[in-house]
Amino acid sequence: MAIDRLLKDEATEEKGERARMSSFVGGMAIADLVKTTLGPKGMDKILQSTGRGQNVTVTNDGATILKSLHIDNPAAKVLVDISKVQDDEVGDGTTSVVVLAGELLREAEKLTMTKIHPMTIIAGYRMASECARDVLLQKAMDNKMDNEKFKSDLTNIAMTTLCSKILSQDKEHFAKLAVDAVLRLKGSTNLESIQIIKKPGGSLMDSFLDDGFILDKKIGVGQPRRIDNANILVANTAMDTDKVKIYGARVRVDSMSKVAQIDAAEKDKMKEKVQKIISHGINCFVNRQLIYNYPEELFADAGILAIEHADFDGIERLALVTGGEIASTFDNPESVKLGHCKLIEEIMIGEDKLIRFSGVKMGQACTIVLRGASVHMLDEAERSLHDALCVLSQTMNDSRIVYGGGWPEMVMAKEVDALARKTPGKKSHAIEAFSRALQSIPITIADNAGLDSAELISQLRAEHHKEKTTSGIDVITGGVGDMEKLGICESFKVKQAVLLSATEAAEMILRVGEIITCAPRQRDDTM
């Protein structure tokens, strides 16, 4: 007996050619969406939420744009995910990876139209990506042994990364900030010890790197403004725990003196807690929660600097860099690990007062203070700088570099083309298609700069048939330039991640033969 219907009423399924087309179209649409943001002359996008407050984000960071979209197409979601992973893994190349995956799908669509099986295309793509990776490994340079050259490489990588961001006008200044901050990490990829503080006002060029840790808080009234050789207790505790604060609690007394007794008893309990904290032998107390007036008075009398309501991110980082731990009970002073630093002082940035902790236990800790005209500009500057810091910290571990400006893509495309000519059978069409997809990155860079991409790419291809060429696209002069002289470098790790992630994502979408959409869950109206 034939089954009329297997799925529920509102469930849908797409099979074979239709499912494949739906996946291809979704992937290509996402790639076209972020394509205009690629390269030094890429444009920004304004993302406006429809929720309360209607937040506005101005950005050209691929991962930020794609994270903000609510997407229905399952293949498009795969590309959004690879962009997020690229952002988490290496920090840069979030747009390149989506554009390359989209182009691989566009080429695959043309091949499936000529009746080439998806599995054949996948096999060809696999061979091509292996070939491209091998040539990238051969061409990568490593200057880790020469300190001067390595520092120059790091600065060039930072400038290339910042070239396509809002910080491009002041890229030398910010590249120096980022390199100085990352060199302090001494090879660690933990960016927790680099804090970024945003303060509206001034210009982007007023941004600076400060040794030590800055907490965005003010020092209270009557408390010491400067402390040398500080012992810091970082806590997350309620200083009013012993107040009667149950809503609707009723205390019946027969005279005002009894009210005073209750008040005094509360004060005694608070005083007892403050005494326990003071007994730790500290001269600075930082609390995640409010401290209130009476305990603050007691701390001021004891000559202790008390900082209240520090944000959770702030106290976690403060505990990390000063070598302390966050405490919440104070009965056993010997079990509490205090933080230490050489100097605590109040500083002014613009109109605001902040607290600086200098000479902290974690020597690599530093703070980058960003200044700028508006909050939107500062948010985008932070994202740009974070990308540069991520790439640099990864380069400290894997110090290999490649030239930028479309040079690696052209080098890989040339080798993949040569492989296609040697490969018999239908796979060679897929390998050739992979080579065309690789060339789409320099084509997009040229198109976004308003240049004649067809003319430029043909010149570039001719240059790459010469031995040991370092030619790429120079969008400033609008022609083919020498990437070595221009100092346009990229991290090998970023390029490798772009190549492998885009190939794997395209392969995953190519394998799709059926899309089943579940029926929505019915709401129970009886409740």
Name the residues annotated as catalytic.
61, 94-95, 387
Beta bridge partners of 490: 402
Count of residues making up the chain = 527
Residue 277 has which token pair? 């904290």
Q: What angle do CA 38, 40, 44 make, to 5 degrees?
A: 60
Q: What share of the chain is helix, strand, coil (3-state, %, to 5)?
A: 50, 20, 30
Provide DSSP, 222-268.
TS-SEEEEEEEEEE---TTTTS---TT-----SSHHHHHHHHHHHHH
Residue among 419, 420, 460 at smallest CA distance from 442: 460
Instruction: Enumerate residues 6+ apart whose C-beta is below 8 A from 514.
Output: 13, 14, 15, 16, 19
Q: How far is CA 417 from the centre of its chain?
A: 35
Count Cβ atoms below 10 Å from residue 267 Cβ, excluding itself. 14
- CA-to-CA dists, residue 527 to 161, 195, 523, angstroms: 56, 50, 9
Is the Cβ–Cβ distance between 90 and 490 less than 8 Å? Answer: no
Q: How many whole angstroms separate alpha carbon 33 and alpha carbon 26?
A: 11
Provide DSSP, 103-162.
HHHHHHHHHHHTT--HHHHHHHHHHHHHHHHHHHHHH-EE-TTSHHHHHHHHHHHHHHHH
Q: How many whole angstroms separate alpha carbon 413 and alpha carbon 432?
A: 9
